[in-house]
Amino acid sequence: MDIRAGISRRDSLKAGLMASATALLPGAAQAATGARGGAMPETPVRWIDDAAPPLSLGQTFGVPWPRGVLRAGKPLSVQGADGTALPSQHWTLATWPDGSIKWTAHALPAGSGQPGALKVVPGKPAAPQAPVLVRELADRIEIQVGALRWSIGRSGNAIIQSAQQGGRTVLGPLTLVASIGSAPEGGTRTPFTGRITSATVEQKGPVRAVVKLTGVHEGQGRQLLPFTLRLYAHAGGDHLRIVHSFIFDGDPAKDFISGIGLTAAVPMAGALHDRHVRLATADDGLFSEAVRPLTGLRRDPGKVVRAAQIAGKAVPMDAMAPGVAKLLDRIPTWGDFDLTQLSADGFSIAKRTQDGHAWVDSVAGSRSQGLGYIGSPQGGAAIATRYFWQRHPSQISIRDAESDMATLTAWLWSPDAKPMDMRSYRGVLGMEGYDAQNEGLDITYEDYEPGWDAATGVARTSELTLWACAATPSADALAAMAQANAVPPQLMVTPDRIHEAGVFGIWSLPDRSTPMKARIEDQNSNLVDFYVGEVDRRRWYGFWNHGDIMHTYDFDRHVWRYDIGGFAWDNSELSPDLWFWTSVLRTGNAAAFRFAEALTRHTGEVDVYHLGRFKGLGTRHGVQHWSDSSKQPRVSNAMYRRIFYYLTADERAGDLMRDLVTSDLALEHVEIGRKVPGAERNPLPAGVIDLSFGTMWCSVASAWLTEWERTGDKKWRERLLNGMDSIGRLKYGWLAGSAPYDLKTGRFMGAGDKISISHLNAVFGALEVNAELLDLLDVPRYRTAWLDYCRWFNASPQEWKAKFDQPFGRRNLKEGHSRLTAYVARETGDRELAVRAWKEFLGGDAGLGLSNGDPRVALKGPAYVRPIVEWPDVSTNAASQWGLAAIENLALIPDALADAAK
């Protein structure tokens, strides 16, 4: 059956299939198209850890709505298990083309997590007991939460000018600090301080307020390390959540970051023995000491005195033994403390009396939760860094605790570590020209070109929490604070409710209704668990590395190929981001959620350029995250950020996607196919570039789609329509692979009369974004072109030759591309194609295959792990494509599986 004929009869075929009910349109696939109109569905919300946390620092989560169900202006609230409305606020994240709401975001106050099942329901939310109040003044922005007032700078060096509890200042100025070394070892260090260039109130209470600050670090006449900082205040909290992003814009050969962090001045009041230091150790542990310790002395000050100091309370002097009281000045005072985490497996705490005296080792352990506090019964401050040990080398420093003004610093890169070295890991090795570079690619799989492996322009986002405390918190409170920052609780709408909304294209809920389906589900779960576990087994940690995973395994050394060119860090190759997030959508699994979150934090920042000539493009997989010379939109792909953004309403992820809407313009001066041997270089007019449909256009189109639904701005809709319509007008449509592209209009040009099929074109989110586009936009000729591609990519050579007079060409990743066959089968109602899709998947050609064993790993000693022998390959590429194909095939054509498996 010709595919175009199948499309012309699509509606009638679907009607017949709906009647038969058992073939190609199961309930899951119908739900994927989105319910249209009707009553608002029940919206249950759950803690991903399946239990309410002892402390939440404030919650924000997204809720999807079926098309036509929710209109703007309708009040919504979050309902507790007992049916009462909770304090909350909500706002719109995205809309459907008909103007109805597609995604809303909801914020809840800080405090103990609400137990039991929560729901989002129509109705007015309750007001918080102490709402967040925002005042915008000429020189500052004030945020009031109960008795706590934050003063945030609009300009200058003080990010936070002060924090007051009940009119008493408990926190002085907080600034951004950095140090740039002149050499990777030794050399001089130049201090830098952050300066604000803009301040914007992005959101005002009553439950949540958000302030965005931007600026740059300055030192000795230089400006470096531009930053974006967001400060989040929640009702019920005595803290600010801080999301800190900076871009490395230095010269990797000359600028070596020897420290970067945030430092706060903390006023110190009261007696030295009433000043308390708290540093988080491993698990719920806490290093608790005083500036002037009263325990362990030769003379006992008294049990009541010792107990008060340990509890962080004021020491009752009238209860102190006289023999101790008169000798207090003879007890050394400890003013400086460091909690240093230089590896994923070891932290140490040291202290000294003051500058010019020796440090004394205090305690050591494995993995600190990264919180520090300094203060007294009259107030103090605490700061904590998320991913403290995962992103070593990190540090918490306290200085001058014995003086009137202490400092509390969270170092994102410890000044006690070696300076950050962003230089290339390798030399040129004679590869100045393209011929030699292609030889290098042939042996190490690394696309190298001198000067194209620079780190200048990559970024990193860190998350911290800053508390302004009215008094020294109890040990239990500090432990809860550290845990809530290190492993933030998260609310998420239940998977079946997300699925019912018809968002994110084609995906299925877990289905174990038959032995084969159960086997597929088990393997997908095991694969996800395997990668989650590999992070810790392989210690994939460190400031720049945390969040990424490796590309391919080395069976001889029993290590991942961390040092072999393009086989090392994966950098989103073949869409693991989509696979993990889709697995989260299906299950709501907490470990998978946090793994995918760390992946998104990494791949959207470190693997992408945020300024310079490569701005908007990402870097192909390599030994360093920036080392490969192939700069591609397929890596910066907004499809890899969308699910995280909509589930959490994370503003930083929103920024990253918005930055990509003009990323196609970078391709005018960054020619991706520059050294392909024998490639034709037809001269193109100014403003016209050659653009592939999948790895390039679909990647940028995902940013346009997201911006259109976030803003309603129709220029992005028109941009999508222009691309879709012009691809559909080419003779061979998607089968042409690429075409000249007009950057101004967004239209493809030329005849498109040559077929060029790449195995990469559809494996970087092309199916996923096309499934959404074709559900939102009616472009018949584009639908035809896309379904042609889906049908013919995995066709046999015999079928191809019977249809086309052009060579069959090389194919790869047949298993992963089975979901293209499944898509056209579902869209046309072609039963033979449905069975063919499952046979392609089960055949395991250029993929993982369906292992007879457990596809997790068996430990082979402490230093390495060995995959089980049933795996034909251990490759992140194969795993992510297998997982996506499994999930999407089960959504599209589950009932054809039995016939294919016979």
Q: Is the confidence at residue 6, as pLDDT, over 50?
A: no
Q: Is the confidence at residue 27, as pLDDT, over 80?
A: no
Cα separation, 300 vs 383, in Å, equals: 33
pLDDT at 849: 66
pLDDT greater at residue 321 or residue 866: 321
pLDDT greater at residue 807 or residue 65: 65
pLDDT at 850: 63
Tens of pLDDT along 836-874? 999 999 987 877 666 543 333 332 333 333 333 334 456
Q: Which of 34-48, 214-228, 295-309, 453-467 has the lowest mean pLDDT?
A: 34-48
pLDDT at 559: 86
Per cent of the chain over pLDDT 70 is 93
Average pLDDT over all residues of the chain: 92
Mean pLDDT (whole number) for 698-718: 98
pLDDT band (50, 70, 90) for residue 38: confident
Nearest to 248 by CA among 449, 420, 395: 420
Tens of pLDDT along 114-139? 888 899 999 999 999 999 999 999 99
> What DSSP line would sit under 765-787, residue for residue?
THHHHHHHHHHH---HHHHHHHH
Mean pLDDT (whole number) for 678-686: 81
Which residues 6+ apart lie within 8 Å of 186 measured at CB?
none
Backbone torsion region of residue 187, taken as left when φ is above 0, otherwise alpha when ψ lies between -120 and 50, otherwise beta: left
Q: How many CB atoms lie within 10 A of CB 450?
A: 12
Q: Is the dihedral of CA 492, 494, 495, 501 positive or negative?
A: negative
Mean pLDDT (whole number) for 33-44: 74
With H, G, I as helix, E, B as strand and everything else as coil, classify residue 211.
Answer: strand
pLDDT at 678: 74
Q: What letter would DSSP give residue 819?
A: H
Give kind and range of the element (H or E) at residue 119.
Answer: strand 118-122
Q: How many CB atoms lie within 10 A of CB 812?
A: 14
**Residue 126's beta-bridge partner residues?**
87
Tens of pLDDT along 539-574? 999 999 999 999 998 878 888 999 999 999 999 999
Tens of pLDDT along 250-295? 999 999 999 999 999 999 999 999 999 999 999 889 999 999 999 9
pLDDT at 682: 79
Report the predicted TM-score, pTM, of the whole model to 2 decimal places. 0.94
Which residues 6+ apart lie within 8 Å of 344 measured at CB?
367, 389, 390, 392, 539, 541, 542
pLDDT at 687: 96
Torsion of CA 409, 414, 416, 420, to 10 degrees: -150
With H, G, I as helix, E, B as strand and everything else as coil, classify residue 136.
Answer: strand
pLDDT band (50, 70, 90) for residue 36: low
Contacts of 536-544 with C-beta under 8 Å, sequence gap 24+, read 537/857, 537/865, 539/344, 539/345, 541/344, 541/389, 541/390, 541/391, 541/392, 542/344, 542/391, 542/392, 543/391, 543/392, 543/393, 543/394, 543/412, 543/413, 543/420, 543/460, 544/458, 544/460, 544/606, 544/625
Residue type, 396: I
Q: 825 near 24, Cβ under 8 Å?
A: yes
pLDDT band (50, 70, 90) for residue 677: confident
pLDDT band (50, 70, 90) for residue 141: very high
